[in-house]
Copies of this chain bind each other. A is one copy, B any other.
């Protein structure tokens, strides 16, 4: 069995940003993604949170390493300055590299 190294990029942001983030994923070359609602608090604590206690979304996408870097670069340049969001990258191994 061959497993192929890829990156999973996870983005946690306000729900109103979901469409824009998904558009950016597609522009970067992502072939698919998953999204689901999460609760949480963010950098400034629960009271005055810039990421509020409700209505956040986690978006996960599997990408080839070079595309993951391109996506993170664009997130940083285009969205991070203006929005409360978190993005991180994890090493994963997938069965079917042609799907990503």
Query: What is the distance, in angstroms, from A9's C-beta to the closest C-beta of chain B?
Result: 10
Neighbouring B residues of A76 by C-beta, 8 Å? 1, 95
Neighbouring B residues of A75 by C-beta, 8 Å? 95
Q: Is A55 an interface residue (CB 8 A)?
A: no
Q: Which of A10, A69, A80, A86 has the most CB of B within 10 A?
A: A86
- Known: A33-B41, A51-B32. Contact between A72 and B87, CB under 8 A? no
Interchain residue pairs A-B with the least CB separation, the first 4: A34-B40, A34-B38, A88-B92, A32-B42
Contacts from A to B (Cβ < 8 Å): 1, 3, 6, 8, 10, 12, 31-43, 49, 51, 56, 58, 62, 69, 72-73, 75-76, 80, 86-96, 99
